[in-house]
Amino acid sequence: MKQKPTLKLIAKELDVSVSTVSKALRDSKEIGKETKEKVKAFAKLYNYRPNNIALSLKNRKTQTLGVIIPEIVHHFFTTVISGIESYANEHGYNVIVGLSNESFKKEVINLDTLANGSIDGFIMSVAKETLSIGDYHHLHETIDQGIPIVMFDRVLDNMDCDKVIVDDVRTSQQAVQKLIGNGSKNIGIISTKDYVSVGRLRTEGYLKALEKNQKDVNLSYILKIHDEFSSEDNLEALEDQISDFLSKNKDLDAIFAVNELYAVTAMKVARKLGLDIPHDMQVIGFTDGVLSKHAYPPLTTVSQNGFEMGRTAARLLINRLEKDREEIERFETVIVDTDIIERETTHKSK
């Protein structure tokens, strides 16, 4: 096991000073041609690489992005990470991930332990519990310390940071409009509680679509799922709520669900109730993941373009990081495009 070579080691071996070695390797013109070559050859031979930690300390930059997400076993979040990683790597940054598991406390801890020099900036999506209790002191504090944050998907309005979102209202409106265009009369929505911004906004889009088409709002057509924490864990609870909902509203002929899990679960329940999809009931989901693609029947869904969101978030963050201290640029909120991917849970548009 050979130890990693350091400048000091090379210096001693070659009988020059540490600074000479450093300068030689960085091709400084202060150093003579011969010495340079000697040093470079030696460095190559021993496969020298500068120690990242030392560099970080010196430069007060770690070239590392902290990504904090509610859960990682989730297609949308992983595509976002993919995007972040892709852009970050292209620009010489690494990515360190923290999982909040939708818990406020874990989110705080994660922010705290990473903010102590380990990372240059954060990219995050806020935990449900945090949204629910509305305590954002940890976010304000890290921003106060000069560590920039970029929020995506689940963002906070009054936060001094860049944001990456989709136009939830407009997109949802389009999705519901599509259902209406396809002839659906009674459209239900399966959403989240209102403190989850995306749930609130998508519901808003749903309402707007109804309004635009002069349709009355039937409050019993609106289901707001109660799930504080990770959703994969309490599937039965989810199924029960949806089952209840569908049984009580037999006249529904279309469902708009604010995520794909709700959508496929709704389909499963509907099937148990003897409904044929899309004949008896059309379904559109939100978030295009594996579930939608491989569901039976394949689910028509709104694609959020997670990869693009990730790349955008990374771009915003890195841009800000590499700005000079005083180019205090205003914070930006970029809206990434969505697409409706038509599969087989809606009627074909002509």
Question: Minimal distance in Å, beta carbon 37 to DNA?
Answer: 10
Of 189 and 238, which has the nearer Cβ to its own copies?
238
What's the rounded Cα separation, in Å, for the pair 58 and 62? 10
Pairing mode, strands 300-303 and 339-341: antiparallel
Among 81, 165, 283, 316, binds its own copies (CB under 8 A): 81
- Which of positions 204-233 make contact with its own copies (CB under 8 A)? 232
Binding map of DNA across residues 234-263, x = CB under 7 A, - = no contact: ------------------------------
DSSP 161: S
Q: Look at the block and give the residue holding tokens 């089952």.
A: 243
- Which of positions 9-38 make contact with DNA (CB under 7 A)? 15-20, 22-23, 25-26, 29-36
Residue 325 interacting with DNA (CB under 7 A): no
Among 45, 54, 273, 290, binds DNA (CB under 7 A): 54
Residue 57 interacting with its own copies (CB under 8 A): yes
Among residues 169, 343, 167, the alpha carbon closest in space to that of 267 is found at 343
Among 38, 40, 170, 268, binds its own copies (CB under 8 A): 268
Residue 17 interacting with its own copies (CB under 8 A): no
Binning the chain into helix, strand and coil, the percentages to the nearest 5 are 45, 15, 40
Please give the backbone phi and psi of residue 200, each rounded to the nearest 5 degrees, phi first: -60, -45
Residue 183 interacting with DNA (CB under 7 A): no
Residue 117 interacting with its own copies (CB under 8 A): yes
Of 81 and 302, which has the nearer Cβ to its own copies?
81
What's the rounded Cα separation, in Å, for the pair 8 and 253? 74
The three-point CA angle 219-223-224 to 5° equals 115
Q: Which residues pair with 53 in a beta bridge?
A: none
Question: Minimal distance in Å, beta carbon 232 to DNA?
Answer: 39
Question: Which of the stretches 34-42, 203-211, 221-229, 262-270 binds its own copies when contact is defined by CB under 8 A?
Answer: 262-270
Q: Which amino acid is at 159?
A: M
Of 48 and 152, which has the nearer Cβ to DNA?
48
DSSP 47: T
The b-or-e profile of 136-165 (16+ CB within 10 A means b, else e) is: eebbeebbeeebbbbbbbbbbeebebbbbb
Annotate 70-94 with DSSP letters as a single string: S-SSSHHHHHHHHHHHHHHHHTT-E
Q: Which 3-state string (H, E, C) describes 289-331?
A: CHHHHHCCCCCEEEECCHHHHHHHHHHHHHHHHHCCCCCCCCC
What's the rounded Cα separation, in Å, for the pair 304 and 295? 18
Question: Minimal distance in Å, beta carbon 160 to DNA?
Answer: 23
| Contact between residue 304 and residue 262 where contact means Cβ atoms under 8 Å apart | no
Among 45, 72, 217, 237, binds its own copies (CB under 8 A): 72
Q: What's the chain's Rg over C-alpha atoms? A: 26
Out of its own copies, DNA, none, what residue 19 binds, judged by CB under 5 to 8 A for its kind, is: DNA
Of 211 and 233, which has the nearer Cβ to its own copies?
233
The residues binding DNA (CB under 7 A) are 6-8, 15-20, 22-23, 25-26, 29-36, 48-51, 54-55, 57-58, 60
Which residues are at the interface with its own copies (CB under 8 A)? 1-4, 47, 49-54, 56-57, 62, 64, 71-75, 78-79, 81-82, 85, 94-99, 112-118, 141, 144-146, 232, 235, 261, 264-265, 268, 271, 290-291, 293-296
